[in-house]
Amino acid sequence: MNAENFEHWLRHQGYRVVRTPSSYWYEASRGVYQAFPYQWVIEPPESELRGLLRSERAIALRYSTPVSAPHGMISYHVVCEDPSYDIATLSRQSRQNVRKGLKHVDVERISIDRLATDGWRLRQETLARQGREGAESEAWWRRLCESAAGLDGFEAWGALHDGELMASFLAFRSDGCYSLPYEQSASSGLEYRVNNAIFYAVIHEAIHQADISQVFLCLHSLDAPSTVDEFKFRMGCTARPVRQRVVFHPWLAPALNRLSHAALRKLVAWRPNSPILSKIEGMVRFNLEGRRGLEEQVWPECFAGRREEILQAASGQVGV
């Protein structure tokens, strides 16, 4: 399996996809292109970026680049790369939560069709808990799932209690990486720790397969609160340091500064339920921070205690 299958999935959903020497890109929103596969860490030359912005008449590009790169905001990928990942490697509290969850649900593969139908209710409840109501639609969700049906590499997982779907994953297998781009769960299952059960079971199953060296869960979000990834870290995942770079079209770049960003933040505070405004603010914030040196940036909380190690890695003294 390779990135071309992911490309087909995006095209089936109606996204515009382009290929450059360094990566694939898709138009995630109007005029904004995201590099994929998401786990790739790339260093495209400035000429390639300028060419893509011009040829696609794009507003902005977003991609992950090494911590040693000269530009980009200090950021992370949430991953599991521990081949010995097991319930014994989790904290005592997490072990208890996993065991409680596995007593309440059975975790197993489900059909993509079931994910498309029953999964939407779980998706709605998850977005509500994250304060992102209205960020997605049922039509978008069904198209996302149905576009994966029949494509090699795509799988769906469910946590079921008496036949009822309580949590689910859409997964994609490609070139040694098992990606879990979408997870959703019912609020009624939280007290039974169904999230713990499905995260543990799916990660454990994937990382112990001979052809998988990494389970990739997500990018550091543009707009979600920092707490959204805390659960994943408690479940034994780690923050792999990268720099995320957002590059705006040269015509827009001069207007992006601390003053315009402050105005954007006021707009977001005035309309906190606007996903579009939140994403724009996030892109501008990533762009402005990414222009500064690593030492001057605001670091994610998950890197507490690791700052010097990562800075040394960025200077080529050690690895991370």
Token reading at 184: 């959703």
Write the single-letter amino acid at 25.
W
pLDDT at 319: 53
Q: Using the predicted structure, report yes or no on whether residue 77 has a pLDDT greater than 80.
A: yes
Query: What letters, b where the CB count within 10 A reaches 16 and e where it falls short, cover 240-271?
Result: bbbbbbbbbeeeeeeebeeeebeebeeebeee
Residue 317 in this model has a pLDDT that exceeds 60: no
pLDDT digits (tens, 9 = 90+) for 256-310: 999 999 999 999 999 887 878 989 999 999 999 999 999 999 999 999 989 999 9
Domains in the chain with CATH codes: 3-79+241-314 (no CATH), 90-212 (3.40.630.30)
Q: Which residues are CB-neighbours of 85 under 8 A, at least 6 positions away?
A: 203, 204, 207, 208, 236
DSSP string, 117-164: HHHHHHHHHHHHHTT-TTSS-HHHHHHHHHTTTT-TTEEEEEEEETTE
> Phi/psi of residue 220, each to 5°?
-55, 120
Rounded to two decimals, the pTM is: 0.92
**Residue 236: left (phi > 0), alpha (psi -120 to 50), or beta?**
left
On average, the pLDDT of the chain sits at: 93
Write out pLDDT tens, residues 219-256.
999 987 778 899 999 999 999 999 999 999 999 988 99
Q: Tokens representing 163? A: 């036949």
Helix (H) or strand (E) segment spanning residue 36:
strand 32-36
Quick check: 18 and 43 in contact, CB under 8 A? no
CA 159 – CA 192 distance, rounded (Å) = 12
Q: Average of pLDDT values for 69-87?
A: 96
pLDDT at 320 over 70: no
Q: Which CB contacts under 8 angstroms, 24+ apart, belong to 68-72?
A: 68/313, 68/314, 68/315, 68/316, 69/43, 69/243, 69/245, 71/243, 71/245, 71/290, 71/291, 72/242, 72/243, 72/244, 72/245, 72/290
Q: What is the pLDDT of residue 134?
A: 76
% of the chain beyond a pLDDT of 90: 86
Task: Tell me the pairing of strands 17-19 and 106-110.
Answer: unpaired
Radius of gyration of the chain (CA): 20
Please give the average per-residue pLDDT across 57-72, as a whole number: 96
Q: Looking at residues 74-98, what average pLDDT do you find?
A: 96
Q: What is the pLDDT of residues 191-216, one digit of tens each?
A: 999 999 999 999 999 999 999 999 99
CA 22 to chain centre: 20
In this predicted structure, the answer to whether residue 47 has a pLDDT above a threshold of 70 is yes
